[in-house]
Chains A and B, each alone.
Chain A
Amino acid sequence: MKSSKYVPLLVIGSVIALTGCEPDQEREVKQQTYNSLNDCKQDWSEDQCTPNSTFTSASGTYIGPRYYWDRGINRPIAIANDGTRTQLSNSHITSEYEGTGRSFTAGSVRTGGFGATAEGFSGGG
């Protein structure tokens, strides 16, 4: 049986980009979801807030950029879907951000919950 595993959200998609710079350090990548644009603007500039249209269960909500905290420059680094990184100088997010009642972290994705039964057999017939 394949066991499921908890993985930080962006490590799945961006591990190559991250390890290309610091191969021995895995950074905690975060993304926040907000109940409104005003909430989002408390942490990010408006152009960094995106309507959360992909998650249909959370329509009307907003998401900030995917980011990790660079302790060297003490700023967040945004990560695009293609793995490119951009230093964010106009955000209000802090390194201690844990997610509060007005928003929640979007950093918990689990994989491996499908596929265990196949054990080499085709899924087709």
Chain B
Amino acid sequence: MERLIVDARPDFGKRLESQGLSFHGWDNYWKEDACYSFTLEQVEEIEAATELLYHMCIAAMQFAIDNNRLGQLGIPQNFWGAIAESFAQNEFSLYGRFDLAYDGVNPPKLLEYNADTPTSLLESAVCQWYWMKDVYRDQDQFNSLHEKLVDRWKLLPGDEPIYVASISQNEEDWVCATYVCETITQAGRTAKHIYIEDIGWHSDANQFVDANGNAIVNLFKLYPWEWLMREEFGQYIVQSNTRFIEPIWKSVLSCKGLLAILWELYPGHPNLLAAYFEPGRLDAYAKKPLYSREGANVELINNGKVIARDDGPYGAEGFIYQALCTLPSFDNRYPVIGSWIVGNESAGMCIREDVSPITTNMSNFVPHFFKV
């Protein structure tokens, strides 16, 4: 694994915009004057670890249900039954992203699993692929994300339209949602975008509906379960006939409390970091809210001293304490591997790097390739 300094394509901004990545220039989000290279063996190590971690997460999920641990994960009790049923039925799931610390030498370590609403999808599946075709056309990339997403949609039962919901007034989410629509369309299904605020509840039909009163049978929502459950319409979720994607059982996997349960089940596993619900068991640790996004409210603490922190609105549901993993530094940058999984198959990776050891929504997206 190396970080290389390379020439950016002279017209890269125009190319990215033509691919739909309208916000590439915000805080220099897309960064292609550097890239990461890997060997095939390293890519295969990440791929194998990703699929192994997924199966471990599924086992942890079953353990949490069987041992009445959902409350400890901050999940309201009125959803426990629906979660157990959804999981037992193996309700359709599209994708997820494991965030891994990796230096090319030691085994990848799971930092967290974004099982519910991972973004960076367009840039991972499309933009970095075309970058590689332009810059390293004789090399390869760990990236089958687009094909796997399209194939996965083909497995969704029924033929009703698939609504894709994102919040209004957020371009990053809109871009991601639009790309999801594209994958749905390429799978031969009808996709309809809807803002999450515009979803209606039809009290007589007992159904979520769109602005025209049409029933929403399938709803891909780029909106986290912990928010849906606690908002006004959360009370209707269980009784509705809407199929949510990601399904409600993914709400358990997207909780960072899962990291503590994984450590409980697999202590000492080479792809895990020690993690606990209780404070005081680690000297150097990351304090993470059970639910947070993009590094918000994460604190890194070493021997009682805060060495990094990121503010935010999260933490009401509690925290977990994960052993501090010093990210590898390449040219004074800290990369985090985002390893995608579609269904239960590893599907490629992306890299976000930052000058801070906490990866946030301000971190740069840096493309990669591996040598053939």
* B209 lies within 8 A of A109 (CB): yes
- B196 within 8 A of partner (CB): yes
Q: Give the residues from 82 to 125 in chain A that come closer than 8 angstroms, CB to CB, to chain B.
A: 104-106, 108-125
Q: How many residues of B contact A (CB 8 A)?
A: 50
Quick one: CB contact mask for B146-173 with A, threshold 8 Å, 1 for yes? 0000000000000000000111111011
In the bound assembly, the distance between CA atoms of A123 and B223 in angstroms comes to 4
In the bound assembly, the distance between CA atoms of A124 and B211 in angstroms comes to 23
- B82 within 8 A of partner (CB): no
In the bound assembly, the distance between CA atoms of A9 and B224 in angstroms comes to 27
In the bound assembly, the distance between CA atoms of A56 and B241 in angstroms comes to 7
Whole-angstrom distance between the Cβ of B79 and the nearest chain A Cβ: 15
* Interface band, chain A: 35 or more
Residues of B within 8 A of A10 (CB): 213
- A81 within 8 A of partner (CB): yes
Quick one: CB contact mask for B99-113 with A, threshold 8 Å, 1 for yes? 000000000000000
In the bound assembly, the distance between CA atoms of A90 and B206 in angstroms comes to 30
* B213 lies within 8 A of A9 (CB): yes
The closest CB in chain B to the CB of A12 belongs to B211
Residues of B within 8 A of A66 (CB): 213
* B207 lies within 8 A of A56 (CB): yes
In the bound assembly, the distance between CA atoms of A91 and B361 in angstroms comes to 58
- B26 within 8 A of partner (CB): no
Task: Tell me which of B166, B214, B296, B361 contacts A123 (CB under 8 A).
Answer: B166
Whole-angstrom distance between the Cβ of B93 and the nearest chain A Cβ: 16
Task: Using A13-B212, A118-B170 as known contacts, say yes or no to A108 and B117 having CB atoms under 8 A apart.
Answer: no
Residues of B within 8 A of A25 (CB): none
- A4 within 8 A of partner (CB): yes
In the bound assembly, the distance between CA atoms of A59 and B176 in angstroms comes to 34
* B204 lies within 8 A of A121 (CB): no
In the bound assembly, the distance between CA atoms of A113 and B227 in angstroms comes to 11
* A115 lies within 8 A of B231 (CB): yes
- B325 within 8 A of partner (CB): no
- B232 within 8 A of partner (CB): yes
The closest CB in chain A to the CB of B121 belongs to A124
* B204 lies within 8 A of A113 (CB): no
* B223 lies within 8 A of A114 (CB): yes
Since A108-B203, A122-B170 are in contact, a sample of 11 more A-B pairs with Cβ atoms closer than 8 Å, ordered by chain A residue number, is A4-B232, A58-B205, A66-B213, A106-B205, A113-B236, A114-B231, A115-B197, A120-B169, A122-B119, A122-B294, A124-B117
